Amino acid sequence: MEIKILSLNIEGDKHLPQVIKLVKQENPDIVCLQEVFEEDFHLLHRQFNMHGIFMPTIWIDFPGVPGFNKSGPFGVVLLNKLAGEFGGDYYFKRRKPELPLYKGKPNAGNRCLVWQKTDNGLTIATTHFTWSKNGQTTEKQKRELSRLIKLLAKLKPDVLCGDFNAPRDQEIWSEISKKLTDNIPSEAKTTLDQNLHYSHGAKLVVDGFFTNPRGNLAIKSIRLIGGVSDHLAISVIMHSIQNPFDS
């Protein structure tokens, strides 16, 4: 069995036509998206005719902040053609029951992991990890990573993908790589789109596609695709690993 997975930080509503075009061209079985407005989640799952989950992390308080045309709940999305049970949990959540307001602060929101356990036994998970200036490791990231690792230990996903806001050569990425296999090609110098990202030339691999070394899936091919959002899309074809005792 082969499955195709696409992961992308879509940067709110700034690039929706390009995102829709890419997903229709790539025709993945599973789509993992970060920085999605709740109203656009409903649009996307209708457009792609896929099951899905939206988990809010923050409330964008008014249009124009940070450069979006909308306001409202904003978060992480997983869409799938495959049947199964969707779920999610916060590994960092502020005490107030209502969503925190953005107010120009990238780390004002909650942080979550969303997943699907498919009927054929796969577990796919995605996240949008804690931001830091210039990709430097912070004590906040370290605290929230420990909570994420505990959640992953319970979930045991076959795939973990998303925007990790932490460069591959820094501590956060390295700690995740101790548990899961990093599949971004070694020759890749950045996952930030050099034409669309606000940093204008920063080259950092911050978007990841990790797999469980004891899982049921192996990478067949992986591609990084630009010109869609301020981050590169990650498009991956995977195949199931046959247990030798099943043959």
Under a CB-based contact definition with an 8 Å cutoff, are residues 24 and 59 in contact? no
Provide, rounded to the nearest whole percent, the portion of the chain with pLDDT above 90: 83
Task: Quote the pLDDT of residue 232.
Answer: 98
Residues near 162 by beta carbon (within 8 Å), at least 6 away in sequence: 7, 9, 32, 34, 76, 126, 127, 128, 129, 207, 208
Task: Quote the pLDDT of residue 177.
Answer: 97
Question: For the residues of 50-85, what is the DSSP string, one character each?
Answer: -EEEEEEEEEE-STTTTS-S--EEEEEEEEESS-EE
Q: Domain extents for the chain?
A: 2-241
Residue 219 forms beta bridges with which residues?
238
Q: Is the pTM of this model over 0.85?
A: yes
| Mean pLDDT over the full length of the chain | 93
Of 109, 31, 33, whose CA–CA distance to 66 is shortest? 109
Residues 140-195 pLDDT 10s: 999 999 999 999 999 999 999 999 999 998 999 999 999 999 999 999 999 999 99
Provide, rounded to the nearest whole percent, the portion of the chain with pLDDT above 70: 98
State the distance between the two ends of the chain, measured CA to CA, in whole angstroms: 15
Of 46, 49, 41, 47, whose CA–CA distance to 21 is shortest? 47
The Cα 31–Cα 40 span in angstroms is 14
Under a CB-based contact definition with an 8 Å cutoff, are residues 233 and 208 in contact? no
pLDDT confidence of 246, banded at 50, 70, 90? Answer: very low
Alpha-helical runs (H) found in 56-211? 139-155, 171-179
Task: Quote the pLDDT of residue 242.
Answer: 59
> Locate tokens 């709740």: which residue?
38
Q: Which two tokens stand for residue 44?
A: 């996307």
- pLDDT over 70 at 238, yes or no: yes
Task: Quote the pLDDT of residue 216.
Answer: 84
The Cα 28–Cα 12 span in angstroms is 21
153: amino acid identity, one letter: A
Q: Span 214-242, mean pLDDT?
A: 93
Task: Quote the pLDDT of residue 247.
Answer: 39
Residues 59-102 pLDDT 10s: 998 877 778 999 999 999 999 998 999 999 999 998 888 999 99
Of 31, 121, 107, 118, whose CA–CA distance to 76 is shortest? 31
What's the CATH fold of domain 2-241?
A: Deoxyribonuclease I; Chain A (3.60.10)
Antiparallel, parallel or unpaired: β 123-128 and 159-163: parallel
